[in-house]
Chains A and B, each alone.
Chain A
Amino acid sequence: MTGSGFDNLQQDHFALFGLPCRQALDVAQLESTYRDLQAKVHPDRHAHLSDAEQRVAMQWATRVNEAYLTLKDPLRRARYLLELAGHDVRLETNTAMPMEFLMAQMELREAVAEAKEAADVDALDRQHRELKKRIRTELEALQAALDAADLDRAGELVRQLMFQEKLLQEIDDALALLET
């Protein structure tokens, strides 16, 4: 046998799961392959074996978890596709976003800040749901852009979505703080 046994650790996430390299995802296949893979590689399955086998198991299980997480989440999946295509999303440097988007975001941020201030759990809960809905719609647009190989548009949507996910996280944290 030629080649190193560690080579397969390097293949891309889609190849690892035997999935086509695209944004649309067969969730059922992802889930079932994830289970099949973890059933083989998880450290619990190798706990009685040698240190060498346990180390390899941890590397593989970590690798499979990372791939699963990346593929399962549509925004992460899209970023990963752009990365594979060599398209730099320039998250740190490119902060230009459409005026309309920014205005809407600013309004929403203010509303969240107000609800936070007033400790209004119901309002925060509602904002959380609405923002999630909006994110879902934009994810559909993102998939369309990726299908059409419009990488610039996809990159722009990724930046906007990350912006919104951050706000979603903030609402989440505010809710958690108010609930304790």
Chain B
Amino acid sequence: MALLQISEPGQSAAPHEHRLAVGIDLGTTNSLVATVRSGMAVVLNDELGRPLLPSVARYGSDGKVEVGYGAQAHQSSDPRNTIVSVKRFMGRGLADIEHVEAMPYEFVDAEGMVRLKTAQGVKSPVEVSADILRALRERAELSLGGQLTGAVITVPAYFDDAQRQATKDAARLAGINVLRLLNEPTAAAIAYGLDNAAEGIYAVYDLGGGTFDISILKLSKGVFQVLATGGDSALGGDDFDHRVFCWIIEQSKLSPLSHEDARLLQMRAREAKEYLTQHGEAPITARLSSGEFVDLRLTTEVFNEITHTLVHKTLGPTRKALRDAGLSPDEITGVVMVGGATRMPQIQKAVEDFFGCEPLNNLDPDKVVALGAATQANLLAGNRAAGDDWLLLDVIPLSLGIETMGGLVEKVIPRNSTIPVARAQEFTTFKDGQTAMALHVVQGERELVSDCRSLARFELRGIPPMVAGAARIRVTFQVDADGLLSVTAREQTTGHEARIEVKPSYGLNDDEITSMLKDSFTHASEDAFRRALREAQVEAQRLVEAVQSALKEDAHLLSTLERAHVESCLTKLQAVLLGDDRRAIDGAMDALSKGTAEFAARRMNQSVQRALAGKKVEEI
């Protein structure tokens, strides 16, 4: 008979319980979810054994939401309600989106981000992405047999703050705890680097369905240091399809197309492009609803000719990234190819010509990003195994700045700064007696505000009236490890402060998220309540374990009094931990967190001192 186990007081029953964490590649065309199983990163397949989930969602008039292959099957019969490549709309206004005229959707140009009108009402790209993420979460929980601790979600390295924020919001909406937003080429570098024990300077050339990234990384002794990154967040395989689509229309001299026919020809264009990867010529045939018939042959030669400007467009950012890294092409040890679109032979050739070396294709370009993300997720969740001491140092892709007089941008944090990073800059008033200051935060490389992306506007009020130029306003930008920005402004003489998480002007604001969450909760009824409670309990349990283990290691850093205080906070949390009062759990967690702030600082100090000990300190 099995005996029930009882753990020692103060110790959790399973101190090294494996936490369920996944990496999610939320792609323009396809998405994947992967996890680390017995030390190996593996992609989780669906019940039919298929690794990919087409990033397609359908909001049919029957009220059903379909995601993946099921939705994809309807893309030409119900194009308006079947949303494909939604990633291209994330954090984007209508004016930002190319080829709108060829899309079958009914767009609503809401403030900040475009929306889509479907049979199930107006949908934000964040909601559509959330539906895709939810399908992946469910696949993972089914396959792993438990609730996820969290996920690492990948984003194109060249995504700006608005696009990152939108992605994080989508995950929140899908009930996923985001451990980290990870740049796609960096994820690929982790998977490649760890697999091949690579050392040296690598370029990751990542051409996906809708985005292009180029990252230059230094791999040395388990440290993945991104030196520079560049790209184009609106350039990908889709654009190659579009060129073929335009060519078909031109060659067949077609009359104006219905949405259904347009979608059909876009599918044929993509199939032809993919066929050309292995063959010299691709047949394109289609019978349109208008009764017209398309019967063409696309040769590699023609394909290369109509798409060569797109190939060329990837080389500009590549040059720039190399220049930012202070390197020339011949200093690159290897080029890792990522993204389905890199299968195109002319891409392979262009990359080979540019770098003067054959690109590395020994990984599945569709899976490598998800595998790298899973590896990172496993580590962040606390499942660090012996030897897992690699470290990732990433950068922000675009400069962050603030608008000054005359519509000019003052850069506060330059692109390619290693994150997390904080930088402060002082500004002053323009007029005598000025008591408020409007701050406009922008992202981009250009000098004029109008050429950069607006991230947020906020006001600092209550500046004491002084003569022009006398006030000292210190504006601090902090970018966290997810690459997300928060800004604080502080008047130095009075200490008056204003703070903003840079969200409202492009992401969804908190109210919108809350109401969307509510909506999804009413569908899933009280299940959502129990889930939230369970999440709080898991979170609290983790905090208890973390503090207990910190006390076990480093109690000597606290005075008797301090220790008693921490222990009393700990006891209070343990007392409410298993109850169903979520507010009490949150309150006790907050108190314990506050009560251990100084302890955490001292522990870090000690850890830094130990890192430095043994280093030789030269005579000063």
Report which A residues bind B (CB closer than 8 A).
Answer: 1, 4-8, 14, 18-22, 26, 29, 33, 35-45, 47-53, 55-58, 60-62, 65-66, 68-69, 128, 172-173, 175-176, 179-180
Contact = CB atoms under 8 A, between A and B. Distances in A.
B391 A58 contact: no
A18 to B, nearest CB: 5
A8 B598 CA distance: 13
Contacts of A1: 556-559, 602
Given A35-B223, A37-B608, A61-B481, A56 B601 contact: yes
Contacts of A6: 598, 601
B445 A62 contact: no
Contacts of B380: 44, 47-48
Contacts of A60: 604, 608
A19 B616 CA distance: 9
Given A44-B380, A61-B481, 12 more contacts: A18-B615, A19-B618, A20-B620, A44-B391, A48-B382, A52-B599, A56-B601, A57-B604, A62-B422, A65-B419, A69-B418, A180-B316
B460 to A, nearest CB: 23
A55 B480 CA distance: 10
A39 B620 contact: no
Interface string B577-608: 00000000000000011101111111111011
A67 B599 CA distance: 24
Contacts of B499: none
B468 interface: no
Nearest to B179: A47
B417 interface: yes
A119 to B, nearest CB: 13
B392 to A, nearest CB: 6
16 contacts: A8-B608, A38-B391, A39-B391, A40-B604, A44-B481, A47-B380, A50-B596, A50-B600, A58-B481, A60-B608, A65-B418, A65-B419, A65-B421, A69-B418, A172-B323, A179-B320
Given A8-B608, A41-B604, A44-B391, A50 B593 contact: yes
A21 B619 CA distance: 9
B417 A43 contact: no
Interface residues on B, range: 35 or more
Interface stretch (B7-15, B135-143, B540-548): B540-548
A128 B323 CA distance: 10
Interface string B174-198: 0000011000000000000000000
B128 to A, nearest CB: 28
A58 B481 CA distance: 8
A21 to B, nearest CB: 6
A42 B393 contact: yes
The 5 closest A-B pairs by CB, nearest first: A5-B601, A48-B382, A5-B602, A179-B316, A47-B380
Contact of B543 (A35, A39, A50): A50
Contacts, number: 159
Nearest to B324: A172
A54 B90 CA distance: 28
Interface string B409-422: 00000000111111
Nearest to B614: A36
A18 B604 contact: no
A21 B600 contact: no
A29 B615 contact: yes
Nearest to A35: B223
A65 B445 contact: no
A179 B313 CA distance: 8
Contacts of A66: 421-422
Contact of B320 (A7, A53, A128, A176): A176
A175 to B, nearest CB: 7
Interface in B294-320: 313, 315-317, 319-320
Contacts of A4: 598, 601
B604 A52 contact: no
Contact of B592 (A50, A69, A180): A50
Nearest to B379: A44
A50 B393 contact: no
B48 interface: no
B313 A180 contact: yes
B391 A8 contact: no
Given A18-B617, A60-B604, A52 B392 contact: no
A37 B611 contact: yes
B607 A40 contact: yes
B608 A58 contact: no
Nearest to B480: A58
A173 B603 contact: no
Interface string B119-148: 000000000000000000000000000000
A59 to B, nearest CB: 8
A66 B424 CA distance: 12
A12 to B, nearest CB: 11
Nearest to A32: B615
B261 to A, nearest CB: 34
Interface string B370-406: 0000001001111000000101110000000000000
B317 A180 contact: yes
B496 interface: no
A45 B608 CA distance: 13
Contacts of B559: 1
A45 B382 CA distance: 9
A7 B601 CA distance: 9
B603 A18 contact: no
Contacts of B605: 5, 7-8
A55 B604 contact: no
Contacts of B389: 39
A5 B598 contact: yes
Interface string B446-488: 0000000000000000000000000000000010110000000
B221 interface: yes
B388 to A, nearest CB: 11
Contact of A55 (B19, B376, B597, B607): B597
A37 B612 CA distance: 8
